Chain A
Amino acid sequence: MKCRKCGEGAALELRRHNAAFCSPHFLEFFQKQVREAIRHYRMFPPDTPVLVAVSGGKDSLALWDVLIGDGYETAGLYLDLGIFEYSVESKAKCEAFAASRGQKLIVERVVDAVGAPIPEVQKVTRRPTCSACGLSKRYLMNRAALEHGYRVVATGHNLDDEAATLFGSVLHWQTDALARQSPMLEATHPKLVRRVKPLYRLSERETAAYAFLRGIDYIVEECPFAHGATSLAHKDTLNRMEEASPGAKHNFLFGFLDKARPVFERAQDVRLTECVRCGQVTTGELCAFCKLSDRVRRSTGPGA
């Protein structure tokens, strides 16, 4: 198989684009897709400092690598979830990456904020682990960005992540979630920062290839709690469709963003207020994170 641009031997075939690229031209393609995402959604101007939420995995480190290469002022934010050896190893990957590129890494510990690490939170709340984890991540990302003076947080969500989330929302017709799903979530309140997903145009396989070809040392092992996660089942379904019909995931997501999302967005009318406890933004009196934290402290504190 030959590179579409130079005719040399290809490193990666992109069936949905009916193309193949050699290593240098694939890296160029990848960086262009990130730039196009940032440009299309006006995610952030070149002089805006960006806080990159990093997990030690391929996506977030690939994103950070591209933004550094393009000259953005960045810092990494690592949320220590306290998931045994997995968190120890993933944090070490982030620290090594930051040090090798002379970048600042901010570390926040879930145990400090919630009162217990994620495995304990799961036992107390009996919510699916990924649900409590996602809630904690969103809350802490916003809080850390505000505290450190960043107005934009970039996450490593890729095309597969976004397509799987969309698939799940459509299966259950969660119209509020459909209204919110976007590569850019604008700051709709002074205490909310903008959240952007510059990898939404790139598949999971493409981000893995980028990380590999750039020599990024990322954590390949899966989070021990991800086994059996619904999002993985949705990804499996979508990948089988992709195999039969290249471009299926891309068309599903991009068709939604272009044609359907504006309809759901118009129907959504949410009044934002500030949590009476922590002051972060919520739709009720007490925010979901404080409710979660209360349950954890009641169950793990003295007299529990």
Chain B
Amino acid sequence: MKVTLRYPKRQVEIAGKRRVKDLLRELDVIPETVLVIRGSELLTSDTVVGEDDEIELRPVISGGGVA
């Protein structure tokens, strides 16, 4: 599967199918810090993603100045 990450924006190829929670652990991503997106849907941690999937891990953390 193709997995898109940001900061910096890059794409990694992962072989085989696995649960989202295992994918995040493998990529060392804290689940609380991303949305896991496949097309127009959000995926929960128990969803199994497979070989043909294109997944985006969109960061949700914004920071800097406090207004």
Contacts and interface: CB of A to CB of B under 8 A. Distances in A.
Interface of A: 1, 10-13, 20, 23, 53, 57-59, 129-131, 133-134, 137-138, 141, 155, 157, 160-161, 164-165, 203-205, 207-209, 212-213, 220-223, 225-226, 229, 231-232, 235-236, 239-240, 242-243
B1 to A, nearest CB: 20
B66 A231 contact: yes
B67 A137 contact: yes
Contact of A243 (B31, B37, B62): B31
Contact of A131 (B6, B60, B65): B65
B11 interface: no
B61 interface: yes
Interface string B11-54: 00000000000000000001111110100011011110000000
Nearest to B66: A134
Nearest to A11: B42
A212 B30 contact: no
Contact of A205 (B33, B45, B65, B66): B33
A232 B66 CA distance: 11
A213 B42 contact: yes
B43 to A, nearest CB: 8
A231 B42 contact: no
9 contacts: A12-B44, A131-B65, A134-B67, A165-B66, A204-B62, A205-B60, A209-B42, A222-B62, A242-B32
Contact of B32 (A131, A138, A243): A243
A243 B34 CA distance: 13
A191 B41 CA distance: 46
Given A12-B42, A208-B60, A53 B67 contact: yes
B35 to A, nearest CB: 5
B38 to A, nearest CB: 11
A251 to B, nearest CB: 15
A58 B61 CA distance: 10
Q: Can you list the 3 inter-chain pairs with the closest CB atoms, starting with the nearest? A: A226-B64, A232-B63, A134-B65
Contacts of A138: 67
A141 B65 CA distance: 14
Contacts of B65: 129-131, 133-134, 137, 229
Contacts of B59: 220, 222
Given A229-B64, A232-B64, 11 more contacts: A10-B44, A11-B44, A129-B65, A131-B65, A134-B66, A155-B67, A209-B42, A221-B6, A222-B59, A223-B62, A231-B63
